[in-house]
Amino acid sequence: MAKPALGRGLGALLGGSPIATPQVSAPISNTVPSASVATDLHERVQRVALDRVRPCPLQPRKDFSPDALRELADSIKEQGIVQPLIVREREGHLELIAGERRWRAAQLLGLTEVPVIVRQADDRAVLELALIENLQRENLNPLEEAQGYSQLIGQFQLKQEEVAIKVGKSRAAVANALRLLKLPASIQASLREGRLSVGHAKVILGLASEVNQRAAAERIIAEGLSVRQTEALVARLLIREAGTVTKPGQIAPLPRDAHVASLENQLRERLGTKVHLRYTHGRGALEVAFFSDAELERILQVLGVSPD
């Protein structure tokens, strides 16, 4: 089944008349246009000098596989760039909105010209589109995705719910992605490089201590632990954390049951917020944290409870 378009798509984000001059371009990526970035048949394509086109600093994708770029370059060499680059005019040059992989591959081939469509777009629309394009093609690594969400929230004052709607994700998916940015830098690097999976990272986030988080990550990588094995490891580390006395005279809490710790992790991921589950002999309490009225409403919606 075809993958549905994410968010509002290119037309909604960058609506309006293109400002390129009419010119027919001969095909020079065999990349099939996705629903969100497909070009309108009435839009004008022009050929411009490759050195006029520059990457966009708002582009969330920072890592480009050399092997994948070489494969794309080989394809372009045989079939040409079928899908034009989408650009905007910026102070004497053209800034990429979509198509940086094609631009980089064209550089590898030593091309002097590329086909482009020029559009008018503000920074927010550019960032939204870049996220949509990359998410739809699954080109972003988990941290690039999280950083893109964070940039929309921080730079454009959007709420998590608004970001989720724009990129076609659930609110919980956005919240869980943002949690990855709370991991220590060394763990983020391992996640970016693919040595840890998102599943591993979500389990590691259940640990409060950065020391234990790093220790867990190192062991996962060294021993090739699965996510299920990581859950068991983190449960043991949680017991150690719970039994640590931090102040003189402080009474250490009872060790936590591994199954309770695992359930707490699942609740934390499902609700996209901090969760604390206390359980002893069939009794206990479930504490769900929220930090605004909007956050509370979202959690209630996830639980199927109407605030009215």
Q: What is the per-residue DSSP string for 13-46?
A: HS-S---PPP--------PPPPTTTPPPTTS--E
Residue 100 known to be catalytic: yes
d(CA 36, CA 33): 8
- Could you tell me the two tokens for 130? 């870049």
d(CA 50, CA 43): 20
19 and 118 Cβ atoms separated by less than 8 Å:
yes
Dihedral angle sign, alpha carbons of residues 251, 252, 255, 256: positive
Residue of 95, 100, 128, 264 marked active site = 100
- Could you tell me the two tokens for 251? 């009474």
263 and 204 Cβ atoms separated by less than 8 Å:
no
Q: Would you call 98 helix, strand, or coil by DSSP?
A: strand
d(CA 230, CA 227): 5
> Which residue is listed with tokens 């086109």?
53
Closest of 162, 150, 117, 128 to residue 17, by C-alpha: 117
Task: Classify residue 91 by burial, with Cβ atoms within 10 Å: 0-12, 13-18, 19+.
Answer: exposed
Active site residues: 100
